[in-house]
Every structure is written in C-alpha cells, then in structure tokens.
Structure 1
Amino acid sequence: MLTANMTSPARPAKRDALRWLLPAAILLAMLIGGSSRADVLPLLILRPLSALLLVFGVYCYGGAAWRQSPALMALALGVVLLAVAHVVPLPPVLWSMLPGRDVIVQTYEVAAMPLPWLSLSMSPAGAWNALFSLMLPLAVLILALAAKPDDRVRALKWVMVIALISGFIGLLQILGPPRGPLYFYKVTNAGAAVGFFANRNHQAVLMASLFPLLATYAALADNSRGRLQLHRAIAIAAAAFIAPMILVTGSRNGLVLGAVGLVLAVWVYGKGTEKPAVKSATMRWRQWSPIAVVAALVGLSLLTIVASRGVAFQRLVDLDASQDLRLKALPTVVRIVGDTFPWGSGMGSFDEVYRHYEPGQLLSPNYFNHAHNDWLEVVMTGGLPAIFLALVAIVYFLLVLVAVLKQKERGSSHRRRLISARCAIVILLLLAIGSIAEYPARTPSLAVLGVLCAAILTGVRKVDMGDSSRDRRAASNRDHDSGEILV
C-alpha cells in the first residue's frame, strides 16, 4: 500500500502544468470554500469549477494518480461509491425495510399515496449535495498525486500564505463592526474572528495548522543566499501573531488544537541542519531554540488571557456542560445511530432526521445543523460502510505515521520530504481531533487541505526505500572496489 513504484507520477509536460494548476485549485478552495452550508452564494462559482477541474483531472492525470498511490485512490473511490449509493433510487420493497424508515412509510400511508422509489438517504437533496461536495477534494487529490513531490510541498506554502491572510482578516473583523463588509457569509459568527470562514471553530483549526506550516517553512528555508535567519524570524513573528489570534476567536476547540499544533510543531521542525562534532554556544542555542520559541508563545498566550482578550479561554472556564446544547443533543444522535444502523440515515440527512427526533426541551432559536461530532455523524449517516472506510483511513494513517517515525533526517532532499510529511501528519491529526467537537472537514477549504496532506504522505515510504537502495548499492560498490567478500 505504501510501496508504489518510483517512476515519475506524470509526463513532464503535464507535470509542469500542475505547477500552477494545483496551487490554483487550492487558492480557489481556500478563498471561497469557507462554509459547509449548501445554500451559500460562493457555491455558484465553486461547484461548476470543481466539476470542470475534476473532469480535467481524471482525464489528464487519473492514471498517474492511481499509479502513485493505488491505496489512497481506492479509498477515495470507495467514498465516492458510497455517496453514489445514497442517491440511487430504490424500489419501495427495498427502502421500506431499511431501519428507521418507518416514519416515511407512515407518512405516505396517512396521505393515502403509494410508496415511490426513494434513495437510501432519508434526505435525497442532502445526499446529492454530499456527492457534489466531493468533487473539489477528489480533483485536488488527483492533481496532488500526479504532481512532483516538491510541487506538493510548495502547495503547503500557498496554504500558509492564505492562512496568514485569513488570520489578518480575522483581526480586522474583531476591530470592526460585527456585521461589517469583511464577513463573507450571511450565516456566520458575527463579531468573531472568522477570517475566510463562516464558523470561528473552522478558522481556529486553520490557525492551529499554521504552527506546523510555519515550522516547515522555517526548517526548509533556503540558505543559499543567506536568508535562513530571515525566514526563521518571519516564522517566529507569524507564530507570535497567530497564538493570541486563536484565543480571540472564541473557539474552545481551537484552544485545544492550538496547544496541540504548537507542541507538535517542535517535532515537525526536527533537529535542523547537520551539526559539527563539537558544539559551540551558537549551535547549542539553535538546538534549544524551538523549545524557547514555544515557551515564548505560551507566555504570549497567557498574557492575552490576563489582558482579558482570551475569549476562548473564558468560554472554556465558564462552560456549564448541562447548558451546552451539543452535549445535551448527544444522546439523541446516539439514538438515531441505533435506529438506523447498519445502513445509516443517509448522506447529508442529519438536519432533517435530527429535527424529527429532536426533544421538545432542546428546541431553541439556535440552528443545530450538524452533530458537532463528525465522527459520530459519519456513523449516523453512513452506517457500517462508512465505519469500514473510516477504519481503513485510520489504518493507512497509522502505517504512514510509523514509517515517518522510523525515518531520520539525512540528505537535503529526503529531509525536505520527511519534514513536509511530519507537517501533513500534524495537520491531519488536528483535523481528526477537531472533528470530535466540530465538522471542519465538511468545509471545502479544509477538506482540500486534508487531501493535500494525504497526498504528501504517499511519497514518504517510497523515498526511504529509494534512499536505502541507493545506500546499499553505494556500499556494495565500495566493498567490491576494496576487494571485500560479502557473506
């Protein structure tokens, strides 16, 4: 699964086109894909372009993407097929026997209407929206797999730039009016630092992802022109800006993710460049500098809290679990899972199905559009097939994680890909943790970030095997030249 061949992912001419096509697709998603709703205006632009990009990607790069990572492409195909299965009309004799469909059958019986052909999903419109939402992530996955490894790493820099701009816009949002022109979505957290997003929790996930992105930028800075220290200073300054920005978003989820991202950024940064046998005072400082930076950023965050600007921290302290709608709705969601298992209620059906089950005491002006636990919502809507696909993805991630943990930094090319792989692992981990209390991967921008990170991880094991083979060949040549006999 992790040992695809070492051939070039795509032909040179087509691969060169990916140098601008892949960043363009990522910019498209990051700039106008900040909402998970199906009725936002940017989808009028995003969905048609996503369809064109997907058709073009499959036609020109589908084969190269499959050769690069059959396992990842098969997993993506499985997700698409599951979504397709939820929109295919079924005869009444089939769908009426599915668990949880009694209310639909009773509705037609009360109306004295014959049972029609219906899809597996209890919300056909929601199922179609879920299927269409897969177009852009799938297109970016194909383009990223077909691209050169360095182009995938370069795409992370574009994500970093857009994320920093989003953080700066968030700063302007909290300084301006709650319904000012810098809020790009009608349904949003007015008065909060949401950046390019509609939800402050999703903005906080992107801000937390900036820590490993900045660590990658600093670790892989090009020192050929003596700009290494400048790049590292820029990374530290950007991190100092992001740390308090996570706090002022007012996202409790972001507070936890920010701490995780900040700590794991030290692992992403690695050991730095090769060090001489005798360490000078400067070299010892460089060894401890990542930890010193983390300590300084933690101190800055504490200063923000003391200055009464840590909205997320204050919301965490003031949290009353009995009054938190998400926790109070959890038993209802678990009940739906039991009633609709093993096939689930259908892709995109959470809103309509939950409203049928919603207890009267939980009725409020607040709009509960998702379970705010995406892992549980995947089980509820996708059933046993979705659980299987999720387990396959988790196993794939763990195998790659073990492979990355076993590798050491050696050689500039290998070190570059290893550090970018660490960054991708941390970002995927942040998305996974964030999905426990939110649904970040349902926004097009963060979904695209996730598949980009998955594509980056496909080359790690192959690079290590290629380097090991070259090392063995070099050792064999040395032994042959010296006249030694290998037993």
Structure 2
Amino acid sequence: MLSNLINRQILREAILVAFIGLVILTLIPFGSVTPFPFAFAAIGMFVLAIISGLLFGEPRQTRSVFSITLFLLIVLTGWMFVQTIELPAHWLANPAWNAARDLAGVQYAAISVVPADTLASILWVALPFVTFLTGLVLCDTDQRARKVLASLGLAAGIIAVFALIQFSMFPRILIVIEKRAYLDSLTAVFVNRNTAATFLGLGTLLMLTLVRDIARSYSSHPPGEPGRNVLLLRTWIYILLLCACFTALMLSRSRAGIFATFVAALIYFPWLVINWNSSKRYRRTTPTWRSILKFVSAIAFVGLSLIMFAGQAILRAQERRLEDDDRFCILPGIWRAISDHWLTGTGLGSFRTVFSAYRDPACGIFGIFDRAHNFYLEGFLGLGILFPIAAAIVFSMLARVFWRGLAQRRRGRHCVLLGVAATVLVTLHSAVDFSLQIPGFAVFFAAFLSAVVAISLGRNNGEAQRQI
C-alpha cells in the first residue's frame, strides 16, 4: 500500500509539473492567439484534465467551487451551442437572417449571426475553465498550490527579463518576427501592450510575494548553517526579477494597465509591509501607532512610485484625453447593439460582424474593431443576459472564497490577499481591454486563481485529510 501511495504522489507531482509547463508554454507564442499554438494548448490541457479527473477525482476542500465552475462551463458552452443551431420555426433567430433570406435566399436562421465563429469560440471559453478545474484537482495541498504560484511568478520574471533585453536591443522584433504595432511600447511576448501590462502587473504582484517569502526564510535561517548563502542568492535573484517585472510594466506605457496595477498594489502592499515580520510561532503585539505609520508609508511609497516611474503612461494620458480615445467613442454604439439583443445575444465571436451596423461615423472611418475593448460588454453582446448572470455568480463565489480565506488562514493569508489584489487588477483592466480574451493570459490567470482558491479553502494538513 505504501508503494501505491508513493506512486500516486509521484504521478500527481509529474502531472502538476506538466500542468505548470503547459500554462507557461501557452503564453510564449503571442499568447496563443494563432490556431496552431491554441490547438496545442487546448488538446494538452484537456488531456491533463481527463487524466487528473480519472486518477484523483473531485477535490475535497474546493468541491463547492469545483462544482459551481463545472456547472457554469456546461451552461455557457451549452448555450453557445444552442446559439449556433436552427431552432424550430426560427424561434429567437436574429433578425439579420431575414435580410439574408431576402437578399441571398438563405434558409438557415439561428441566434448567432456567425454560427461557425460562435461554435469555434466554445473552445476559447472552455480552455480557461478547464485550466481552473484541473488546477483545483492538482492543488490539493498548500505546498502544491504554492509551487504553482512560485512557478508562475518566476516565469513572469524570466519573460520580463527577456522582454527588456529584446526591447532594448531589438525594439522592432517581437520574439522572432518583425513587430508591426506598438513600436514605442514593450509588449513582452504579446502583440498588444495592454495584455502585456496586465500580465506584467500580475507578475509584479507574484514576484513581490516570492521576495517576501524568501526574505523571511533567509532572516529566520540561523547564521552559519548550510543553505543560508543559497537563500541569500535566491533572494537577490527574486529581487532582480521583481525589478524586471516592474520596469517592463512601466515600459509598456499602458495607462489602464499601470493604473490597475497600482490600485492592486494599494490593496496588497500596505498589508504586506505591516505583516512582513509576522509569525505564528513568534508573535508580538505591535503598537497601533507603528502599524498606522507603516500603512501610511506603504501607501505613500506606492504613490511616489507611480509618479516617479509611470511618467510615460502619464504623458500618454495627458496627450490623449479619454474623449479622444476610440475605445470610449464606440461605447454608445456597443450599448445600442446590446439593447437590441440583450436577451439572447448575437453569438460569441460575432462582435466584428454585428458592431459594423452600430458604429458611429463620428468615431472616424479608419480601423476595424475586432473587439469591444471591454470584456464585459462584449460578453454581454455575445451571450445575452446569461453573461451578467454568470459574471455575478463568479464574482460572488470568489468573494466568499477570499472572505473565508482571510478569516481562517494565517500563514497563507498573504496569498489570499494576493488573489484579491490580482482579481481587482484584472477586473479593472478588463473594463477597457480584452486581456481575458487572449488564451495565453486567460490560462495563466485561471491557473493562478486555482492555486489561490486552493490556499484560501485549504489547510496545512490537507495531505492527510485527502483520501488517496
């Protein structure tokens, strides 16, 4: 029986390593926005999900979150499939099909105006959901969940170092191809600077956490004992990677991405400073005035950092006012499209086709809007009323998870707060960008959330509580 236990643990570790590796690989080829990398990522993740589910079953500590997420995945993909089929008597069919029948004799009619694109979008929606579910199954202990967070943070730091070298030496090259857009901005391994900013902002928060953890380990390690020099070296490496993530974020020149990161930092960094030396074993009462001083100093530090290092983004904001930004000019047209199709939606993946009829000529004739630059509005337009309902369920679920984690976890509380800050970052930036619609980042964030949720609902003795 012992051999069986060891084999299962080794197998779980091997699958976890494969899971982390696949998540990182999904980032590298431009966020897997092209068909071949996306297909590779989807096939690999679905295979890992099936293997993990068959071998280890439903997670115990995160069972409720797992069940809700699986239910949402089934409902959303099922509704997207319904949007592509022809219902009896053309029930709920989009009125655009009437014009197609009159002009071209098309007899088909469905909810979606582009059924093929909506059908293809099912995989784009399912991939981050399956990643999150697989992460919940594999992260059955704090140790494994922390391993996922550490791996994602180090990957973000290494990508930031690569991006800085590439941007400084070969500014017109994006990985291995010629860069055609955002020539004045660092975009890391992505095409769009806003997606890069969201990723680098999350990477900065992750590396800040790793610096805190390794610095605490070094300070508590007795002088003269083996391993102290290694800890010191790792501490400096982590600090350099943190600086790389932060510098790359500033060079992205993304106004919304930098602003959202600093809002997240205002949530996370002051708590981290106040509780930097806290320990369950050696706990001392800190005077209230000292905690307040640390809190105010941390907020001031974040504010000064924004003023000192975000100069290029601030300059962009001053040069180009919000009312001059095309993303805000098209918002009334998007709202009109939503108001006309709020119940059933027009099919996910149909934005480019549908929005052309609602575009305001005052916004100019140049450029084609493939996306709404607003994750929530595009989701509402594509899926109809089901999207805000699903979004409300997701946010309420995460709120309950984080609240429970903050109330019950002590040593892992900073990881819970990291999840809160990162969720705020992505939530804010998604209101003016489409980072969550990029498969590479969506998979990265889903894996991150699975580890944070596992820590929020877990215990240090999770290994003993789980049936093997």
TM over 0.5: yes
Q: In structure 2, give the amino acid aligned to 1:369.
A: D
Residue in structure 1 matched with residue 425 of structure 2 by the alignment: 430
Q: 1:403 to 1:181 in 2, by over 3 A?
A: closer
Count of residues in Structure 1 that have an aligned counterpart in Structure 2: 438
Q: What is the 5 A alignment of 1:222-301?
A: 222-223=217-218, 224=221, 225-226=227-228, 231-266=234-269, 267-268=271-272, 270-274=275-279, 275=282, 277=284, 299=304, 301=306
CA contact (8 A) 1:400 1:457 kept: no
Residue deviations 1:316-372 (CA, integer Å, cap 9, x gap): 122323321111100000001110111111111111111222233334332322111
Residue in structure 2 matched with residue 373 of structure 1 by the alignment: 374
CA contact (8 A) 1:188 1:198 kept: yes
Residue deviations 1:128-173 (CA, integer Å, cap 9, x gap): 3321223532442233112233222212222212222332333234
Say whether residues 1:123 and 2:124 are aligned partners.
no
CA contact (8 A) 1:64 1:145 kept: no
Residue deviations 1:260-279 (CA, integer Å, cap 9, x gap): 23323323564434256498
Q: 1:300 to 1:184 in 2, by over 3 A?
A: farther
Say whether residues 1:159 and 2:152 are aligned partners.
yes
Residue in structure 2 matched with residue 5 of structure 1 by the alignment: none
Q: In structure 1, give the amino acid aligned to 2:40.
A: P
Question: C-alpha displacement at 1:74, in angstroms?
Answer: 3.2
Secondary structure, aligned partner of 1:357: coil
Say whether residues 1:71 and 2:70 are aligned partners.
no
Q: In structure 1, give the amino acid aligned to 2:432.
A: A
Residue deviations 1:265-296 (CA, integer Å, cap 9, x gap): 323564434256498xxxx9999889867755
Q: In structure 1, give the amino acid aligned to 2:307.
A: L
Give the one of 15, 30, 34 matched to 1:18.
Answer: 15
Say whether residues 1:87 and 2:81 are aligned partners.
yes
Residue in structure 1 matched with residue 224 of structure 2 by the alignment: none
Secondary structure, aligned partner of 2:111: coil
Alpha-carbon distance between aligned partners in 2 of 1:268 and 1:450, rounded to the nearest angstrom: 22
The answer to which of 48-57 and 290-299 deviates more is: 290-299
Secondary structure, aligned partner of 1:106: helix
Residue in structure 2 matched with residue 3 of structure 1 by the alignment: none
Alpha-carbon distance between aligned partners in 2 of 1:212 and 1:398, rounded to the nearest angstrom: 19
Residue in structure 2 matched with residue 46 of structure 1 by the alignment: 38
Alpha-carbon distance between aligned partners in 2 of 1:54 and 1:96, rounded to the nearest angstrom: 34
Alpha-carbon distance between aligned partners in 1 of 2:429 and 2:199, rounded to the nearest angstrom: 10
Question: C-alpha displacement at 1:80, in angstroms?
Answer: 4.4
Alpha-carbon distance between aligned partners in 2 of 1:188 and 1:65, rounded to the nearest angstrom: 44
Question: C-alpha displacement at 1:304, in angstroms?
Answer: 3.9
CA contact (8 A) 1:215 1:265 kept: no
Give the one of 201, 208, 232 matched to 1:208.
Answer: 201
Alpha-carbon distance between aligned partners in 2 of 1:290 and 1:384, rounded to the nearest angstrom: 42
Alpha-carbon distance between aligned partners in 1 of 2:213 and 2:367, rounded to the nearest angstrom: 45
Residue deviations 1:207-227 (CA, integer Å, cap 9, x gap): 211232123212322445336
Alpha-carbon distance between aligned partners in 2 of 1:186 and 1:245, rounded to the nearest angstrom: 17
Can you give the 5+ residue segments of structure 2 that lack an aligned partner in the other structure?
A: 222-226
Give the one of 134, 137, 156 matched to 1:146.
Answer: 137
Larger RCO, structures 1/2 (Cα 8 Å, 6+ apart):
2
Q: 1:27 to 1:125 in 2, by over 3 A?
A: same
Alpha-carbon distance between aligned partners in 1 of 2:198 and 2:20, rounded to the nearest angstrom: 21
Question: C-alpha displacement at 1:431, in angstroms?
Answer: 1.1
Say whether residues 1:27 and 2:24 are aligned partners.
yes
Q: 1:243 to 1:299 in 2, by over 3 A?
A: farther
Alpha-carbon distance between aligned partners in 1 of 2:285 and 2:91, rounded to the nearest angstrom: 75
Residue in structure 2 matched with residue 134 of structure 1 by the alignment: 125
CA contact (8 A) 1:252 1:316 kept: yes
Q: What is the 5 A alignment of 1:313-392?
A: 313-392=314-393
Alpha-carbon distance between aligned partners in 2 of 1:18 and 1:55, rounded to the nearest angstrom: 11
Q: 1:297 to 1:171 in 2, by over 3 A?
A: farther
Residue in structure 2 matched with residue 102 of structure 1 by the alignment: 95
CA contact (8 A) 1:217 1:235 kept: yes
Q: What is the 5 A alignment of 1:178-197?
A: 178-182=171-175, 188-197=181-190
Alpha-carbon distance between aligned partners in 1 of 2:240 and 2:291, rounded to the nearest angstrom: 17
CA contact (8 A) 2:347 2:383 kept: yes
Q: 1:402 to 1:47 in 2, by over 3 A?
A: same
Aligned-residue sequence identity (percent) comes to 17
Alpha-carbon distance between aligned partners in 2 of 1:359 and 1:261, rounded to the nearest angstrom: 34
Alpha-carbon distance between aligned partners in 1 of 2:293 and 2:165, rounded to the nearest angstrom: 34
CA contact (8 A) 1:33 1:46 kept: no
Residue in structure 2 matched with residue 485 of structure 1 by the alignment: none
Q: 1:458 to 1:331 in 2, by over 3 A?
A: same
Can you give the 5+ residue segments of structure 1 that lack an aligned partner in the other structure?
A: 1-7, 410-414, 471-487
Q: 1:240 to 1:434 in 2, by over 3 A?
A: same
Q: In structure 1, give the amino acid aligned to 2:351.
A: F
